[in-house]
Each structure stands twice: as C-alpha cells, then as structure tokens.
Amino acid sequence: MIDWFQACVLAVIQGLTEFLPISSSAHLVIPSLALGWPDQGLAFDVAVHVGTLAAVVFYYRHDLLTISRSWLQSLTGGGATADSRIVWYLLLASIPAGLVGVLQGDYIEAHARTLPVIATTTLLFGLLLGYADRYAQHKPGSRPVDLTVAVLIGLAQALAPVPGVSRSGATITAALLLNLSRHDAARFSFLLSIPVIGGAGVLKTWDLAQGAAPVAWSMMTVAALISGVTAYLCIALFLRLLDRVGMMPFVYYRIALAALLYVVWLAY
C-alpha cells in the first residue's frame, strides 16, 4: 500500500503525463521499478483516471456541448454536420484501443511493464514523434478529421496500452503524419481521451467492486483532485505553447529518459 507522499507524487505524475506525449503509464511504473515503491493499486488507478477525465471534460466543456447538441440533432433528423460527425469519429477511433485493452490488457500488464520494454518504446516512439513533427513543419497541416483519419488514429491509439508508447504521443504522431495541424491533432487526441479514459475507468471500477480490498477514500479523493488540477493546467499550457515549441522538447525528453532507463536497467 502506498503512503500519502507516494500517492501525491504519483498523482502529480499522472496529471502531468496523461496528456503530454511522454507516456503516463511509463512514468507511473518507473517509481516502482527504480525506487522499489509498492504498486499503487487499482483504487489509485481509478482515482487518478477520474481526475484526468474530469480535467479534459472541463477544459473542452464548450466544445463538448456544441458537438453533443449537433449529434443529438442529427439523430432526430436534423442532418449531419461536421460537429455531429466528430462524435461518430471519436467513438469509432476508440474501438481498437478498447479491444486491445479488453483482450490483451492482462497480458500487457504481466509482460510489458519492464524497464527494457519501457526504455525501448520510449525511445522508438519518441523518434517517430520527432519525425512526424519535422514532417508537419515542412508540410503545414490543413486536413480536416474525416473517417479515414479517425480510423488510422484509432489504430495508432491501440498501441497505447504498452507502457512507454504514450496514448497522446501515438495519436498526435498519427495525426501529424496524416497532415492535420498541430492544434487539430492535439484537440482530436485530447477529445479522444474522453471515451478511452472513461471506458478504462469503468472497467477498473468494475474490477475494484469485485475485490474485497479496503479503499483509503480520503487518499484517493486527494489523489483525484491533484491529478485533475495538474492535468487541467498541463492541457492549458501545452496548447498555449504548442505552436511556439512544437513537439521536439518532448522528443528530446523521451530520448534522455530512455537513456536513463537503459542505465538503470543495466545497473541492476
């Protein structure tokens, strides 16, 4: 069982890394692998996912109201619009990751949470993100989200359960390679996190309900609040600086992190 200090640190890590292209799952695994911290447990995973889900929903609340109204109107004969279609695209793009999580989640959990796997995926997908960002600079994005884009981004997101890949990193990389602008890529990636995080949260909550382990509700509530506030600030800052800094700072960070993880792995 983690203590209060560990819970607060891990909640900050979750909030900082959930929406940045650097892999939240990798960063949450690192303390247990490198520092010997105990596993945070299922209740903690549910709590911090609730926090980050609340953060992205609140940040995009106006967009969500607009597209939800358009979608409901289209269902009642109002005609399809770009806003109504985006709901279908988000649902469609969520399917591959959902299938991987349900069918292979336990296998990934048991075999992929290792330092060499995390270091390798952190490096490889960081380099791929760098290539996509360079590609976007030479071919400024203008393509709108359509059915093909949604399917391909959804397939990229299916790799996200592997620690070190990064859900936002994989989806933003795919979006940039498909010639979306940086802001459109980030917006679709963040909106796409809502059904994915929500679905994962429901499954984890179900698993938690089946168990008999006691839950430290006060600690989980604080962890949810910390992760939510941190995630909201992180989204706002990321989008504000996106055009100015691009993706390369995150690429360099991933390369440095991969090198450090390899050193730790070889030292043990």
Instruction: Say whether pLDDT at 138 is over 80.
Output: no
Q: Contact, 47 vs 265, CB < 8 A?
A: no
How big is the CA angle at 87 (ends 18 and 58), to the nearest 5 degrees? 45
Residue carrying the six token digits 């989204």: 235
In angstroms, the CA 160 to CA 139 distance is 26
Instruction: Say whether pLDDT at 119 is over 80.
Output: yes
H-type helices in 178-216, by residue range?
A: 182-210
Number of domains in the chain: 1
User: Using CA of residue 86, residue 161, residue 248, residue 229, what is the dihedral sign?
Assistant: positive
In angstroms, the CA 163 to CA 111 distance is 10
The reported pLDDT for the residue numbered 29 is: 77
Percent of the chain with pLDDT over 70: 99
pLDDT (tens digit, 9 = 90+) per residue, 173-195?
Answer: 999 999 999 999 999 999 999 99
What distances in angstroms separate CA 19 from CA 53, 62, 133, one per listed residue?
A: 10, 19, 17
The reported pLDDT for the residue numbered 143 is: 87
- Structural domain of residue 231, as residue ranges? 4-267
- Give the contacts of 57 (CB within 8 A, at least 6 positions apart): 64, 194
- Give the least confident one: 40-54, 100-114, 147-161: 100-114
Q: Contact, 239 vs 182, CB < 8 A?
A: no
**Count of CB atoms situated within 10 Å of the CB of 267:** 7
Instruction: Say whether pLDDT at 17 is over 70.
Output: yes
Structure tokens at 221: 């509530």
Q: How confident is the model at residue 141 (pLDDT cuts 50, 70, 90)?
A: low
In angstroms, the CA 236 to CA 232 distance is 6
How big is the CA angle at 204 (ends 202 and 207), to the nearest 5 degrees? 110
In angstroms, the CA 93 to CA 260 distance is 33
